Amino acid sequence: MPRTKSATPITSDNPAITGPRAPADRLYRAGAECVRHRERYSALVEAGVMDAEQLSALEIAAICDKVLLEAIGMFEAVAPAGVSKDEDWYRKSVLLWQASREYQRRHAASDFKTRRLGSHKQEQLKELAMEYDLEASALLALQHALAAYRKSVPEAHLESRASRLM
C-alpha cells in the first residue's frame, strides 16, 4: 500500500483549528459530511440495496444533520472577533451558514410533512413532492456554498487517512 502524506495535525498551534475561522471551518466540515452522507443514502436507495443497509445509511445521515445543526449553533454563538467583514473567507462562511440553515429548514419541513401524511390524497402527495424538491434544491445550494468556502479556505478540509488511501 502506498504511503501518503499525513493529515494536518490537530493542535492548539494550528490556526485553522483554534483561530477566528474555527467555527466556520467546523461548519464547512459538518456540511461536507452531511452532503456526503445524503448522497450516499440516495445512491443506496437508487441502487435498491436491502432496507437494512438503507436504514443504516439514513441513521448516519441523521447524525450528520445533528452535527450540522450543532455547527450552525456554534457559528452563530461565536462571532469571529477582530475579523474584517471584507475578508473572502468571512463572506463565504456567511453564505455557507445561510445555505446550511436553509437546508436544515427545508429538511425539517419535509420530515414534518412526511410524518404528518396520513391518507395518501393526491394533493398531499404533490405537496410532499414539492417539499422534497425544495429540500433537494437547498442541498444543492449547500454544495455550492461548500465549494466556494473550500476554494477560499482549502485547508479547512481535513482529509482523513482512509479517504486518502482510496
Sequence-ordered strand ranges (E) for 82-130: none
Answer whether 57's CB lies under 8 Å from 42's CB: no
Grid cell at residue 70: 450543532
CATH code assigned at 42: 1.20.1420
Per-residue pLDDT of the chain (166 residues; tens, 9 = 90+): 344 444 444 444 454 556 789 999 999 999 999 999 999 999 999 999 999 999 999 999 999 999 999 999 999 998 666 678 888 999 999 999 999 999 999 999 888 877 776 666 777 778 778 888 889 999 999 999 999 999 999 988 876 544 444 4
Q: Cβ-count burial of 14 within 10 angstroms (0-12 exposed, 13-18 middle, 19+ buried)?
A: middle
Does some domain include residue 16? no
Q: How many domains does the chain have?
A: 1
Does some domain include residue 3? no
* Residue 57: predicted pLDDT: 96
Does some domain include residue 30? yes
Q: Cβ-count burial of 75 within 10 angstroms (0-12 exposed, 13-18 middle, 19+ buried)?
A: buried
* Residue 11: predicted pLDDT: 46
Domain that holds residue 105: 21-156
